[in-house]
């Protein structure tokens, strides 16, 4: 009974950080469930909007401001689905990341519209979406302040975690991989720790990115993080004890998660069993001349194409040479004979040559027979 009353009093005392705002036709109320917290300790933020002017349709666009002093996750946004009596309850889980007094900022945009605009926006079908026409007003909200306490020095994880590990074998052959799994479970800030496992001279660690699974609630985050590793070495080695310093903000106590020291026995492999028996073997060929073969191939292909194109040209020239009409023109040196040859062709394309020959033969004008023949050959 005492405990129950005490908890209630504590809860009332915790709800210190409250901001009330009377905006344009609505009220808003922001609240933190604690005023002081450790770094990475979960803090619950609730934000309520209540429309007071029911003559308009109001839509609200709310989020927290991004900051490197904290990280936040929206857990819920409950909305009463009535455009003129909007009532929205947002819930956020915040993890402070810096010590000292931090400001938790808000971004709120009030969008005012009419019932007709809303109806119109619904009148389209799926492939004809219409925007609601709204009058947007950014609302300035005072930030909430949170006092953040630093963690004890050397703390790597914050929360209540347990660690289990699994080693497949403690004895293996040289360079044979030894699978090794580490699982950290519990509630708190996600237990991702970098550089827990580091290779040393006498062994190598192969590590995948940790697989993290997190479920967020209003109280905290429940995490399961699995580190998948593999070890290998040439000789037997000892994996030193690994300690992860952790802090539980609920009990305000530090504790250590431990992976105990492990001895691994590595058996050497006989050289005769190896595929490659020589270490760093000499190259098979002294000089690689394969590029010369490729180059020769390209040259052959180039010349084949070139000669094919040329052969078409030669063939056309040969054909032209063997054309009886062209041959006759070439052989004829008598303008009259040439005129009769051109008339015989009955082609408009020789009209100009015919006129020149005609002018020479019947009007005694000078004639360049070679020029005419050249024109005809073209």
By CB under 8 A, is residue 343 in contact with other proteins? yes
Q: Alpha-carbon dihedral of residues 7, 12, 15, 19, nearest 10 degrees?
A: 170
Smallest gap from residue 377 Cβ to other proteins (A): 19
By CB under 8 A, is residue 94 in contact with other proteins? no
Spatial separation of the C-alpha atoms in residues 92 and 72, rounded to whole Å: 7
Of 151, 158, 153, nearest to 223 by C-alpha is 158
Spatial separation of the C-alpha atoms in residues 95 and 146, rounded to whole Å: 11
Spatial separation of the C-alpha atoms in residues 127 and 131, rounded to whole Å: 13
By CB under 8 A, is residue 30 in contact with other proteins? no
By CB under 8 A, is residue 357 in contact with other proteins? yes
By CB under 8 A, is residue 346 in contact with other proteins? yes
> Can you give the C-alpha Rg of the chain in angstroms?
45
By CB under 8 A, is residue 345 in contact with other proteins? yes
In the Cβ-directed half-sphere of 180, how many Cα atoms lie within 13 Å?
A: 20
Smallest gap from residue 326 Cβ to other proteins (A): 15
Burial of 3 (0-12, 13-18, 19+ CB in 10 A): exposed
Choices 56-64, 237-245, 274-282, 343-351 (CB under 8 A): range interacting with other proteins = 343-351
Choices 88-96, 197-205, 235-243, 336-344 (CB under 8 A): range interacting with other proteins = 336-344
CB nearer to other proteins: pick between 202 and 358: 358
Choices 40-48, 287-295, 312-320, 347-355 (CB under 8 A): range interacting with other proteins = 347-355
Smallest gap from residue 369 Cβ to other proteins (A): 15
Query: Quick one: how far is CA 334 from the chain centroid?
Result: 83
By CB under 8 A, is residue 355 in contact with other proteins? yes
By CB under 8 A, is residue 320 in contact with other proteins? no
Q: What b/e sequence results for 205-214 when a residue is b if at least 16 CB atoms lie within 10 Å of its CB, and e otherwise?
A: bebeebeeee
Choices 100-108, 236-244, 277-285, 354-362 (CB under 8 A): range interacting with other proteins = 354-362
Spatial separation of the C-alpha atoms in residues 328 and 330, rounded to whole Å: 5
Question: Bridge partners of 12?
Answer: none
**5-11 contacts, C-beta under 8 A, 24 or more apart:** none
By CB under 8 A, is residue 327 in contact with other proteins? no
Smallest gap from residue 345 Cβ to other proteins (A): 7
Pick one of 288, 362, 370, 378: the residue that binds other proteins (CB under 8 A): 362
CB nearer to other proteins: pick between 14 and 354: 354
C-beta separation of 335 from 341 below 8 A: no
CB nearer to other proteins: pick between 242 and 367: 367
- Which spans of this chain sit near other proteins (rule: CB under 8 A)? 336-337, 339-346, 348, 351, 354-355, 357-358, 361-362
């Amino acid at each position: 009974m005492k405990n129950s009353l005490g908890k209630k009093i504590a809860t009332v005392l915790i709800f210190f950080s409250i901001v009330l705002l009377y905006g344009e036709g609505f009220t808003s109320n922001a609240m933190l469930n604690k005023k002081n917290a450790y770094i990475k300790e979960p803090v619950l933020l609730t934000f309520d909007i209540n429309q007071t002017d029911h003559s308009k349709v109001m839509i609200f666009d709310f989020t927290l401001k991004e900051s490197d002093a904290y990280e936040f996750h929206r857990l819920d946004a409950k909305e009463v689905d009535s455009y003129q009596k909007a009532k929205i309850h947002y819930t956020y889980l915040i993890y402070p990341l810096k010590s000292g007094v931090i400001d938790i900022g808000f971004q709120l945009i009030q969008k005012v519209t009419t019932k007709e605009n809303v109806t119109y926006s619904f009148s389209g079908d799926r492939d004809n979406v219409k925007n609601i026409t709204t009058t947007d007003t950014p609302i300035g909200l005072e930030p909430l302040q949170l006092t953040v306490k630093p963690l004890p020095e050397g703390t790597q994880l914050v929360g209540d975690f347990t660690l289990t590990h699994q080693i497949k074998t403690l004895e293996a052959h040289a360079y044979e991989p030894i699978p090794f799994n580490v699982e950290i479970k519990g509630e708190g800030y996600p237990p991702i720790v970098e550089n827990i496992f580091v290779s040393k001279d006498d062994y190598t660690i192969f590590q995948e990115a940790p697989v993290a699974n997190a479920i967020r609630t209003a109280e905290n985050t429940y995490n399961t993080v699995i580190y998948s590793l593999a070890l290998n070495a040439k000789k037997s080695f000892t994996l030193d004890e690994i300690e992860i310093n952790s802090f539980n903000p609920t009990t305000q106590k530090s504790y250590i998660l431990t992976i105990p020291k492990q001895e691994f026995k590595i058996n050497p492999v006989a050289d005769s069993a190896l595929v490659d028996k020589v270490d760093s073997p000499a190259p098979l060929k002294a000089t690689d001349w394969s590029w010369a073969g490729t180059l020769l191939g390209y040259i052959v292909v180039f010349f084949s194409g070139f000669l094919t194109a040329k052969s078409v040209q030669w063939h056309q020239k040969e054909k032209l040479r063997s054309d009886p009409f062209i041959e006759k023109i070439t052989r004829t040196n008598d303008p009259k004979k040439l005129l009769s040859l051109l008339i015989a062709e009955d082609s408009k394309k020789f009209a100009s040559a015919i006129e020149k020959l005609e002018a020479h033969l019947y009007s005694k004008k000078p004639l360049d027979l070679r020029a005419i023949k050249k024109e005809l050959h073209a």
